Amino acid sequence: MITNKYLITILLIAFFSVGLFAQKYTISGYVKDHSTGEDMIGANVYIKEISKGTVSNQYGFYSITVPKGEYIITVSYIGYIDFSKKITLDKNIRLNIQSKPNLIVAKEVVISSERTINIESTQMGAVRLPVEKIKVLPAFMGEVDIIKTIQLLPGVQSGGEGNTGFYVRGGGPDQNLILLDEAVVYNAAHLFGFFSVFNADAVKDINLIKGGMPAQYGGRLSSVLDITMKDGNYKEYKAEGGIGIISSRLTVQGPIKKDTSSFIASGRRTYIDVLMEPFIKEDAKAKGSGYYFYDLNAKVNYKFSDKDRLFLSGYFGRDVFSLNNKDAGFGANIAWGNATGSLRWNHLFSNKLFMNATLIMSDYEFEFGAEQDNFEFKLFSGIRDYNAKIDFTYYPTVRHNVKFGINYIYHIFQPSSVTAKIGETSFDTGGIIKNYANDVAIYVNDDFDLTDKLKISAGLRGTLFQQIGPFDRYVDNELGQAADTVHYDRGENVELYKHIEPRFSMRYSLGMKSSVKASYTQNYQYIHLASSTSASLPTDLWVPSSSLVKPQFGTQYAVGYFRNFNDNIFETSIEVYYKDFQNQISYKDGAQPGDDVGQNADNSFVFGSGESYGVELFIKKRLGKTTGWIGYTLSETTRTFEDLNFGLPYPAKYDRRHDISFIATHELNEKWVFSFVFVYATGSSLTLPVGRYIIDGRIINEYGERNSFRMASYHRADASVTYKPENKNKRVYSTWNLSVFNLYNRHNPYFIYYDTEGSIAEGNLEITATQVSLFPILPSITWNFNF
Amino acid sequence: MKVFTKILILIIASVIIFSCEKEVTVDLPRPEDRIVFEGSIENNQYASLIITRNTAYFDVVDANTLVDMVVIDTSAIITVTDGIIIDTLQLGFDFNGFIPIKYAGSKLKGEIGKTYTLNAFIEGNSYSAVTTIPQPLELDSVRFKYNNPDATEDSTGFLWLYANDPPVLGDYYKIFTKTINKDSIFVHPFNSVTDDQFFNGQPIELGVSRGYNPASGEESDQSEEDIPRWMFVKGETVVVKFCTIDAKHYDFWYSIELQNSSDGNPFAAPVTIKSNIEGGALGIWGGYGVTLDTIFIDESVIVD
């Protein structure tokens, strides 16, 4: 609580120090891409004379208030020509800046002498990735994947071979807040995690925050992955797309009214099922079985005036799997996916106060249906959110950047519900159970210069979470059986949690080239993902905090040293973090999905805590013909559950001692771009039986300590070549991307299983371990076009 | 639900057309040496107990190592008591059992409703365990259903047990059968235990398949007459042994059967076997409240 008081004091001082200075004027406006009219997020807007600046927000807006005078304003953004203009500030100025892409990228490096954002800002543990850089990296089966690129950053671990699950600084997969145009995406994976749901053609900006989370974000312990969709081209109609080995993509965009309104629509679908269809015989047993997934993104926006803008955007994606076995009279149909929609209104109250009001719907559904003869079985689970929020950004002076706002979410959880019937007879399986909750957050955050060297970002986030009825609590007896039921009516309070989350980070400048940063954050998370298997499956359940499940609570401490070399060509950093997790959940030993049927899902959970600490090293070459980075993470992550592993701490599933990634892109000339990726990670931990004994004449396995065994280490190299042929007809531009995944054909372990030979009765039982590897060397080719 | 998990695995497997497998050497630590108890006491029967030890996971199990797994400690003291009488168990032979050597009582027969404590002093260590013999539940009837009622030539099927579960929650059942002239011992179906979570106080219908005797080596799915091993056949006489057991005894068998069903599923969470033995040993000391019913499978007991 002492920390809280301290932070409040700092915030108050910060507020009252505003406006104590002389006559001031504001220069504000939007930063846009000259050729498409798209807003540019995170552009560095800088005033040389006072060595201060700001960064354009998520809608491209910036505002700087400084004393009257003459200044040179510079706007820089990687891959764009620096914009500089001399201004006389004797009144408030509106300056919309159109930055031009630096097409002849490699020829000449324009060196900005100002401090770069990584040295200047208080934010640590954050990375912003331009989508165009991702597109030339080697793509697994030709699919450009945003999340797989995120996994190459230090402090971010992958979920395993080909898996898009990601684990940030020892946090679980449910502790990442994944936002697509401010709407939460609950399951970012297609095909059990081999592909992510984000179609890179529709994405403009990717921002990952893994530490020092500012107060405007919350509800998750470990990270924020904030993805912004393109707005659509304001200048001209464009179509782009690609044809790959497993899927095709098409995006169309253009102005509805030039410079005022635009749209974008983007789709992607896999076609393994379509390609296979003609080769499956009509009378084949499995006729009608198949798998595909698709994604649709769409967005329109309208600029009413320089002060008001409206955005409507949506995402819809599904995985569909059908399985048929004629002989057995068996059929199954599985479909899952996300749907999001957001309506946003940007309003400028003044040139210092920016507002964004948003209405969001976010939905994740999983449905499994099976039929055998006249027996029908259906299982559903999912989560749906209705969300309204208002966010303000206030730029009182150049020294302050204040953010405040309020956020309300109505959650509807649907843990596993089953319906079953034989012919016309239905079974009583407890019916469809839903849980409801109110989730409110209010926050304020100020990012301000305390002295010329010391910059502080301090914030508070107040959160309230209330589970409400209708709800039936099954009260278990000591034997784990539902012995009693407590009923709550619609709207009745079931459980209420309230918490204050302090967020604090600071930067101390050690000159133009280097700085030291530190951060301390507390986060509460009121929703939990329960996984009963060792793999991430779409069946994993989202459950609310309840009387049994306490909100997850995380504390993170981090310090870092940031330094640039060679005129900011190289950015380097070293960060050390320590993280503590409370109220983590896990299924009881041996629990299976569906044990919850006719029960509260949380009755099958056990509770514990976790801990993670590590060092992250990052060296990035940001400019020049060759760009890329090296990331290294040394870390340890453990979990402690009273009811698991005899109460002793054990390594988390995603604990990796060493994690190295190396990424390089070389632009030889305008036609050829080469990329190379190498990753190395300590092997995954798993639990294996160490002993056996005999009960009832059968072999029983005696398991060793949880996750005490390590599979072989994971390493892999990928390479790609992107070729842009000379453009002859000047209408269609095309590029070819040839990627090779797993260059040296490493057999990385996916899982290990045991093979048993002989029988115990015949006295010749022998067991061998077999390692399964997923992907050998896999070349792929994609043809991309735009016109 | 297990079917459901299996379907998911099937999907993953079918998707992963590129996957490859290779044999690897897994360097496992040796497990701690532990004693394994498998003991029981039934109403009107003396206690019986098999004592073995665990082995390392990759040790080959053959006739020799199997003998080594049996604990024979001539200085061992094994007693069972109901609080009044102490029965010292004696080492003897059991030629029907998978492990042919076992300890058996001679003074104290199990009684319904009583609690029995096992004390064992073996190889310098002491172990103890407590179990009860719960009130047995009489079956209303035992019936037979054809596996495939439409096929006239198919005479195979399953037994169905009918009973009324008592009103208080917390009843646990384990089922055994013995087909006369075919099974030398009572065998249990693959899933042999159930609790009354979903049918407390209500009429019960339980389908029963035929188990196998591990000692007879009949692990294969087919018996000699081309009849699946887990089926009963019209014309057979079957003794049904319907038992009530206490909660810890149930937890043990439930964890065993859960481990068997998730065996070979690399995505399943490992199942740790529960035990009610104090002192660092593995296994079970369990009481059974037994009722016996005999059924001759003919037209009179067949239901659709």
pLDDT in tens, B273-287: 989 999 999 999 999
Quick check: A762 contacting B, CB < 8 Å? yes
The answer to whether A216 and A405 are in contact (CB under 8 A) is: yes
Residue A453 confidence (pLDDT) above 70: yes
CA distance A340 to A408: 16
Predicted pLDDT of residue B2: 47
* A496 and A482 Cβ atoms separated by less than 8 Å: no
pLDDT band at A534 (very low <50, low <70, confident <90, very high): low
Partner-chain contact B99 A694, CB within 8 Å: yes
Q: Give me the residue from A332, A587, A767 closest to B57, CB to CB.
A: A767
What mean pLDDT do residues B172-188 have? 91
CB contact under 8 A, A533 and B268: yes
**A54, A184, A262, A319, A365 from A362: Cα distances, Å:** 32, 6, 24, 17, 10
pLDDT for residue B20: 75
CATH code for the domain defined by B141-216+226-248+288-301: 2.60.40
Cross-chain Cβ contact B56/A537 below 8 Å: no
Distance CA A215, CA B24 (A): 49
For residue B144, pLDDT beyond 50:
yes
ipTM field: 0.90
Q: What is the pLDDT of residues A683-741, one digit of tens each?
A: 888 888 888 899 988 889 898 888 888 888 999 999 999 998 877 667 788 889 999 99
List of chain B residues whose C-beta atoms are within 8 Å of the C-beta of residue A770: 21-24
How far apart are the C-alpha atoms of A61 and A30, rounded to whole Å? 4
Give the tens place of pLDDT for each residue, A84-139.
889 998 899 999 999 888 765 444 444 454 557 788 888 888 888 878 888 888 88
With bands split at pLDDT 50, 70 and 90, how would you rate the model's confidence at A773?
Answer: confident
Task: For A571-612, write each residue's pLDDT tens digit.
Answer: 999 999 999 999 999 887 766 655 555 567 777 788 999 999
**B225 pLDDT higher than 80:** no
Top-confidence residue, B169 or B16? B169
- What phi and psi, each to the nearest 5 degrees, are found at residue A321? -125, 130
Quote the pLDDT of residue B204: 87
Mean pLDDT lowest for which of A627-631, B16-20, B260-264? B16-20
**Residue of chain A nearest B211, judged by CA positions:** A696
pLDDT at A196 over 90: no
Residue A131, SS3?
Answer: helix
pLDDT at A317 over 60: yes
The pLDDT value recorded for residue B35 is 95
Lowest mean pLDDT, pick from A11-15, A308-312, A412-416, A782-786? A11-15
Residue A495 and residue A471 in contact, taking contact as beta carbons nearer than 8 Å: no
Write down the pLDDT at residue A194. 79
Higher pLDDT, A114 or A652: A652
CA distance A219 to chain B (A): 28
Closest partner residue to A747 (CB to CB) among B1, B3, B20 is B20
At residue A171, does pLDDT exceed 60? yes
In this prediction, residue A360 carries a pLDDT of: 96
Between positions 341 and 370 of A, the ones with CB within 8 A of B are: 368, 370
Instruction: Give the right CATH number for A228-786 from 2.60.120.700, 2.40.170.20, 3.40.220.10, 3.90.1200.10.
Output: 2.40.170.20
Residue A599, exposed/middle/buried by CB under 10 A (0-12, 13-18, 19+)? buried
pLDDT of A761 reads 66
The distance of B250 to chain A (nearest Cα, Å) reads: 11
> For position A382, what pLDDT does the model report?
87
Looking at per-residue confidence, does A539 or A660 come out higher?
A660
Mean pLDDT score of chain A: 85
Is the confidence at residue A441, as pLDDT, over 80? yes
Q: Which residues of A touch B4 (CB under 8 A)?
A: 368, 370, 379, 593-594
Chain B residues whose CB is inside 8 A of the A484 CB are: none
Does any CB of chain B come closer than 8 Å to the CB of residue A485? Answer: no
Indicate the domain borders of chain B.
Answer: 141-216+226-248+288-301
Question: Which residues, 6+ apart, have CB-to-CB distance to B20 below 8 Å?
Answer: A747, A772, A773, A776
Average pLDDT over residues A353-358: 95
Distance in Å, alpha carbon of A102 to nearest chain B alpha carbon: 42
What local confidence, expressed as pLDDT, does residue A597 receive? 57
Q: What is the mean pLDDT of residues A443-452?
A: 92
Lowest mean pLDDT segment, chosen from A232-246, A281-295, A409-423, B161-175: A281-295
Of B1, B98, B259, the CB nearest to A701: B259
Q: Tell me which residue has tokens 């190498």.
A: A678
* Measured distance CA(A356)–CA(A341) in Å, rounded: 16
Confidence of residue B265 (pLDDT cuts 50, 70, 90): low
Question: In whole angstroms, how far apart are CA A216 and each of A6, A402, A517?
Answer: 19, 10, 20
Q: Does A759 touch chain B (CB under 8 A)?
A: yes
Does domain A2-115 bear CATH number 2.60.40.1120?
yes
Tell me, what's the pLDDT at B224? 55
State whether B1 and A587 contact (CB < 8 Å): no
Q: Are the CB atoms for A593 and B5 separated by under 8 Å?
A: yes
Interchain CB distance below 8 Å, A691 and B58: no
Q: What is the mean pLDDT of residues A4-27?
A: 63
Interchain pair A689, B217: CB under 8 A: no
The region of weakest confidence among A330-339, A553-562, B105-114 is A330-339
Q: What is the pLDDT of residue A106?
A: 43
Mutation test of the interface with chain B: which of A379, A604, A702, A710, choosing the one with the most B Cβ atoms within 10 A? A702
Residues in chain B: 304
Q: Mean pLDDT across the stretch A635-654? A: 90
Q: Can you give the residue ranges of every domain in chain A?
A: 2-115, 228-786
Give the pLDDT confidence score for residue A517 in this predicted structure.
95
Per-residue pLDDT for A553 more than 90? yes
- Contact: A693, B260; criterion CB under 8 Å: no
Predicted local distance difference test score (pLDDT) of residue A113:
47
Q: Which residues on A lie below 8 Å from B23 (Cβ)?
A: 768-771
List the single range of A60-69, A335-344, B175-184, B190-199 with lowest mean pLDDT: B190-199
Q: Do B20 and A763 touch (CB under 8 A)?
A: no
| CB-CB neighbors (< 8 A) of B16 in chain A | 774
Nearest Cα to Cα of residue B269 among B53, B5, B3, B69: B5
Residue B65 C-alpha, separation from nearest chain A C-alpha, in angstroms: 9
Quote the CA–CA distance of A532 and A591 in Å, as a whole number: 7
pTM above 0.90, yes or no: no
Phi then psi for residue B108, to 5 deg, are: -115, 115
Q: Residue A422 is encoded by which pair of tokens?
A: 């034989």
Q: Across residues A364-376, what is the average pLDDT?
A: 79
CB atoms A689 and B61 under 8 Å: no
Residues 6+ apart with CB under 8 A from A506: A122, A454, A455, A456, A457, A517, A518, A519
Judging contacts by C-beta atoms under 8 Å, the chain B residues touching residue A194 are 15
For the ranges A15-29, A707-721, B50-64, B153-167, the lowest mean pLDDT is seen at A15-29
CA separation for the pair B107, B88 (Å, rounded)? 8
The residue-averaged pLDDT of A373-401 equals 88
Residue to mutate among A323, A592, A713, with most B CBs inside 10 A, is A592
pLDDT-derived band at A482, boundaries 50, 70, 90? low
Give me the residues of A, 621-660, that contact B with CB < 8 A.
none
Nearest residue of B to residue A763, measured between CA atoms: B62
Lowest mean pLDDT among A234-243, A751-760, B243-252: A751-760
| pLDDT at res. B116 | 97
